Amino acid sequence: MQYPKWKHPGGKLRELGPTALTTEELLAILISTGYKGKTALEVSKEILAKHNSLDSLSHQPLAALLSVKGLGDVKIIRIAAALELGRRTAEEILKNHGKKK
């Protein structure tokens, strides 16, 4: 049986960079820890399965994420902040791309 080289996606990110990770692994880094019987990666997969995409997830009210077992205020705030940073980055790229023409 082959075991994964990394126990947590953070180790994989550190070694291979963020583009080597799946969306589920990146979300698991934000979640940090799961709960008894479920890892952070399993919780992240549950969230993405429920919301189908990051776009859909980004439009959910924060309270909607409280229904996910293993997520409390701090983890939800981390996820919301990361999604907003992504939105602002995309907005900035689009704005700057228009200036280059």
Per-residue pLDDT tens digits for 13-59: 998 999 999 999 999 999 999 999 999 999 999 999 999 999 999 99
Please state the rounded mean pLDDT for residues 60-84: 92
pTM here is 0.85
Query: Would you state the pLDDT for residue 33?
Result: 92
- With vertex at residue 26, the alpha carbon angle to CA 74 and CA 5, rounded to the nearest 5 degrees, is 120
